[in-house]
Each structure stands twice: as structure tokens, then as C-alpha cells.
A = this chain, B = another copy of it.
């Protein structure tokens, strides 16, 4: 068996990933309740019954989709946390471009939309997403900011709010993309958004002479 050409014949080991991938697309488009298992299955190229060989219920598929999207992001958070030392400006410039790129090329935006939309129906998913991602990321950024404040580098102020300010435009831009681009909204360039945003935050919005 499996002589030498593992080419054609679908390999069952890939099925769950294929299904999760298809489910991500459908859930992101329709939300949990309006997504039909038929659609997910068809998009995954399998029959409806096949989904149940790998997942217990539709909710299970949903959880797998969200869960799968958490791991890579935790890596981002880790990277940010690890980059602590050095001037904050360098950290932000380096990290923001990286994060923007990842968000751009990843279905993460769709997952974010799902989590926001279904948080009320899946509290445990909201909790996991918060505890493992949102809270971690805000915390890591806040720590870095506090360190910079301690070094006299950054102005006084609530570090958690600073962290929120830092990440917010990226999140809004990606939600804007997911929500309004399909109905004709002018896209935002995530990289450009983050670049300009970091510059603005660091140096202020106003011209030198215009400071109040």
C-alpha cells in the first residue's frame, strides 16, 4: 500500500484541516447560525456526513475554527513580549509592520468578526479568545509601555489604554475590510495605516509650531 506516489487519492489526515478551512470561510461570511453544514461540507469537497467523522457537532467545528486561529496569534503576542528591551519606538515600528502583515495575509480578520458576532452565543469562546489573545496582547504591550515610562521615555498615562490606542486602528481597519469592503467601501491599506499610526503616536499629529 501507499507504494510511492502519495499523490492522488485524498489523504484522510488532511480532512479535518480542509473542513476547518472551509468552515472558516463559511462562518466568517454567514456567522454561526446562518452557516449551513451542507455549505461547509460542499466547500470542503466532502459530504455532509463526512464532517461528522471528524467533529461531533456544528459547534465543535466552530470551536475548532476559532481555536485554530488562536495559536498563530499567540505567537505574535509572544514575539511582542520578547522584544521588550530597547527604545519603544523601535519596538513599535518593528512589531507593527509585522503584525499588520500577518493580519493582512491571514483569515484572522474573519475570525475576529466571528468572535465579535457570536460572543453572546459562545461565551466560552469569547473567554478563550480574551484570555489567550486579547488580554495577553494588551498585557504584553502595557508591560513594554510601562518599562518605557520607567525609563522616562514615554509620557505618564494609563498603559493599558496606550496599548489599546496602539492596536485599535489595525483592528478597526480589518473589521472595516470584513464588514464594509464587500459593499463597496474604500479599502484601507493595513500596512500604511499602521505606519502612519505609529508615526503619529510617537511624534504627535500636530506640526511643530502648532502645539497647544
Contacts and interface: CB of A to CB of B under 8 A. Distances in A.
Interface residues of A, number: 72
Chain A at the B interface: SS class: helix
A38 interface: no
A202 B205 CA distance: 5
B89 A212 contact: yes
Contact of A183 (B31, B123, B185): B123
A88 B87 CA distance: 30
B204 A120 contact: no
A59 to B, nearest CB: 12
Interface of A: 28-34, 87-89, 113-121, 123-124, 126-127, 129-130, 134-135, 152-155, 157-158, 160-162, 164-165, 167-169, 171-173, 175-176, 178-180, 182-186, 188, 192-193, 196-197, 199-207, 209-212
